[in-house]
């Protein structure tokens, strides 16, 4: 379904058209691609810092820890080595080369998994950025509508002169293209919302659970410990992940709601009545902005993100007081 949405953005009315919007359309698309790339690289940097910190800590403190357990009536002392992450292994990995192999496997698997999550987030947020760029392309088309329809610039006069008949036909065609583009974009947003809403709900619930567990562990750790530093970085990564979804969702909602203002700002007074009616219909439809939600319950917006941050801060202070 995601691939189908991306293919739709590369065909038909959504395909960048130099004759329609000039070089600026290509610049808008390139800008929409640039930001998800930057988001992905930032996520990868967080992953490398978190996993690398755990690897350095485990490697530098790789001393033998004594762990007692009871085997029948005999107390046995087992020598275990520190791993980057505490996992259950179905064999004894304390001897070389098994220890080194398991150590490398944990680091490699965690980094690959983190990169996979970061790439998936960048892909979905990139789709939101492409939707935003399509609304900006409509804005650019509206800005150029009158200038493309005019054969020459209209000089200031005592009264407003309407465009000639030929220019009116060109303006009507361009206006119909903008209206059609807007309708198709709204339809795509609605389909994408139905596709992603429950995925976003699962993402939000899992991220919120991770944030709660991380805050609980932070409330029990010493600020000078390595575990505290690692957990803070992990918490920042989860916050960055939620911020990306909320930020891009908020941008789509904001830009789609401004289409009516963009249409009003053009020089519509020199257009005929039929074109003005088409622009009014465009403005009326854009009064209801497009949006993305988490399971139809919560909007992906900066307000939602701030609510999460405030709730997390209150939860952490409560846990801190309970453990003090």
Q: What is the pLDDT of residue 63?
A: 56
CA dist., res. 96 & res. 108, Å (int): 18
Cβ atoms 263, 281 nearer than 8 A? no
Which pLDDT belongs to residue 156? 41
Q: CA-to-CA distance for 43 and 252, rounded, in angstroms?
A: 22
| Average pLDDT, 10 consecutive residues per value, the chain (324 residues) | 83 86 88 92 92 86 56 57 82 81 92 93 91 92 83 44 80 91 92 88 85 84 81 88 92 92 88 90 90 88 89 81 74
Instruction: Give pLDDT, residue 47.
Output: 93
86: phi then psi, degrees, rounded to nearest 5: -80, 110
Residue 282: per-residue pLDDT: 92
Residue 41 confidence (pLDDT): 94
> Which of 106, 111, 99 shows the shortest CA–CA distance to 62?
99
Alpha carbon distance 101, 232 (integer Å): 28
Contact at 8 Å (CB) between 82 and 93? no
Cα–Cα nearest to 148, from 19, 269, 279: 19
Name the 3-class secondary structure at 71. Answer: strand
pLDDT given at position 97: 84
Q: CA quadruple 248, 123, 140, 180: dihedral positive or negative?
A: negative
Q: What is the pLDDT of residue 225?
A: 79
Distance CA 167, CA 115 (A): 53
User: β-pairing, 74-80 with 65-71?
Assistant: antiparallel
Give the Cβ contact number of residue 8 at 10 Å: 17
How far is the C-alpha of 45 from the C-alpha of 227, rounded, in Å? 19
What does the pLDDT read at residue 75? 56
- Looking up tokens 């999550």, which residue turns up? 117
Q: Residue 62: its pLDDT value, please? A: 67
Largest CA distance in the chain: 108
Distances (CA, A) of 160 to 163, 167, 267, 279: 10, 15, 11, 19
Alpha carbon distance 141, 179 (integer Å): 10
């Amino acid at each position: 379904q995601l691939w189908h949405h991306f293919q739709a953005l590369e065909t038909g009315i959504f395909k960048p058209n130099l004759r329609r919007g000039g070089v600026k359309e290509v610049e808008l698309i390139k800008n929409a691609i640039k930001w998800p790339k930057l988001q992905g690289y930032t996520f990868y940097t967080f992953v490398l810092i978190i996993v690398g910190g755990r690897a350095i800590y485990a490697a530098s403190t790789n001393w033998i820890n004594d762990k007692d357990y009871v085997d029948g009536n005999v107390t046995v002392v087992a020598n275990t080595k520190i791993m980057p992450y505490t996992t259950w292994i179905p064999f004894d990995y304390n001897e070389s080369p098994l220890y080194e192999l398991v150590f490398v496997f944990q680091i490699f698997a965690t980094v690959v998994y983190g990169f996979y999550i970061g790439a998936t987030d960048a892909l979905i947020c990139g789709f939101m950025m492409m939707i935003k760029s399509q609304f900006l392309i409509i804005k650019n088309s509206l800005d150029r509508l009158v200038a493309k329809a005019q054969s020459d610039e209209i000089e200031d006069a005592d009264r407003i002169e309407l465009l000639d008949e030929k220019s009116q036909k060109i303006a009507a065609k361009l206006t119909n293209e903008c209206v059609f583009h807007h309708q198709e974009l709204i339809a795509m947003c609605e389909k994408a919302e139905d596709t992603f809403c429950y995925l976003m709900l699962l993402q939000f619930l899992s991220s919120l659970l991770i944030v709660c567990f991380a805050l609980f562990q932070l409330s029990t750790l010493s600020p000078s410990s390595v575990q505290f530093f690692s957990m803070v970085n992990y918490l920042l990564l989860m916050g960055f992940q939620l911020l990306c979804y909320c930020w891009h969702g908020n941008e789509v909602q904001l830009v789609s709601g401004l289409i009516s203002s963009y249409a009003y700002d053009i020089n519509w007074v020199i257009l005929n009545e039929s074109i003005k009616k088409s622009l009014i219909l465009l403005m009326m439809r854009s009064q209801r902005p497009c949006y993305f939600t988490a399971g139809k319950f919560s909007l992906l917006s900066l307000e939602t993100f701030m609510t999460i941050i405030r709730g997390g801060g209150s939860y952490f202070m409560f846990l801190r007081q309970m453990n003090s």
